[in-house]
Amino acid sequence: CNVRAARSFPFVSKVTGVDLIEMATKAMLGLPVTPYPNRGQRLGYVGVKVPQFSFSRLQGADPILGVEMASTGEVAAFGRDKYDAYLKAMVATGFQLPEKNILLSIGSYKEKVEMLPSVQRLADSGFKLFATPGTADFIQEHGIDVTALEADTAREGYGLQEYLSNNKIDLYVNLPSKNKFRRPATYVSNGYRSRRLAIDFSVPLITNVKCAKMFIEALARFSVEKWDVESVDYVTSHRTTVLPGLVDVAALLPAADSLASASRAAICGGFTTLGVSVFGADGTAATDDRAVAAIKNASRGRALADYVVAVAATDANPAAAAALSADAPILFVSFDKRHPAHVDAYNTVSEHFKAWPPSAAVVTNAAGNDL
């Protein structure tokens, strides 16, 4: 049993929505622990974490992945499926998506066979394929169009070094063979040279067959039009509600029968919901149940947008205003003495806040010392 809390531990908690750290801490302290929930169904999203490397800062280092921890960081992303999440995570590390030219160099015959369907996917997706001579021969034998690039005695215009150093390659998939032949300590392979060229000239490089297959499949499914920020791209404890338009929480009207013209102007400005406060020249204001009912009756059938009536706070109606919160879910606290309904005393505001339901909205025009 590995009791070490790895970086994957909080990542799993974030993806599943279960605080595993809290569960583990309570278990160690002998406190009651809520059992891990049996969800009974799959989550509607996938979380993927990918490493980030700094081979460009390590001069001469061979960018081949092994069992050692060579990453200098990690990036996590969410998606509809593993391909969507993986591609987002790769882009978040700074990995540039290829646009046209992809170079392939696959060492072992086993990995050539394993990669063949992925290579076909690249060709079907419209990418221009280049490959080292051995890989190019294998790909051409299976009916896929590819251009060979030579490392040593290259024909003019077909040199591997020329293409990598002049940024003619958008992605380099290099899968070195795992041979165990003994070589002189001073031996430098063509594969190493090409990998270092890719790193030194900032060409995106993949050196693992499983990662290459995943990336290519994700790339083949990728669509710019469908790649928007969605609810699966983040996890939050807050509830997010998507509204059809903007909300004006303090639409001040001179009279209840002016709602038609006010809502028409609101719709033209992109507002689809209004919090209506009526302050008439005749002293009309929604300060009690009769006033709220009168305003609703006068407005019925006139509005072109959704609306709710706001109850106006005064020094005399903290309890009455709170009782109206179901019918008038906005408390409008005005400090403007030009309004027929306003507050003068600060202790009145405190009484309103104590009586008003915490789940209902409060809107004010307070400024300066009043605020």
> 3-state SS of 40-51?
CCCCCCEEEEEE
What's the pLDDT tens digit per position in 19-76?
A: 888 888 899 899 998 887 776 667 788 888 888 776 665 665 666 666 555 566 788 8
Provide DSSP, 313-360. P-TT-HHHHHHTTTTS-EEEE---TTSSS----HHHHHHHHHHS-TTS
Provide DSSP, 5-69. --THHHHHHHHHT--HHHHHHHHHHT---PPPP---S--SSEEEEEEE--GGGSTT------SS-
| Distance set, CA 225 to CA 33, 118, 228, 229, 231 (Å) | 45, 23, 7, 11, 16
What is the identity of the amino acid at 57?
R
Burial of 202 (0-12, 13-18, 19+ CB in 10 A): exposed
Sign of the CA dihedral with 243 first, then 249, 254, and 256 last: positive
* Phi-psi group of 98: left, alpha or beta (phi > 0 → left; psi -120 to 50 → alpha; rest → beta): beta
The mean predicted confidence, pLDDT, of the chain is 82
pTM to 2 decimal places: 0.60
Q: Which of 349, 299, 287 is nearest to 323 (CA)?
A: 287
Question: For residue 1, what pLDDT is reported?
Answer: 46
Q: Which of 209, 178, 207 is nearest to 114 (CA)?
A: 209
Question: For residue 301, what pLDDT is reported?
Answer: 82
Question: For residue 303, what pLDDT is reported?
Answer: 85
Which parts of the chain sit beneath pLDDT 50? 1, 185
Question: For residue 140, what pLDDT is reported?
Answer: 93
Residue 158 has φ and ψ, to the nearest 5°, of -130, 35
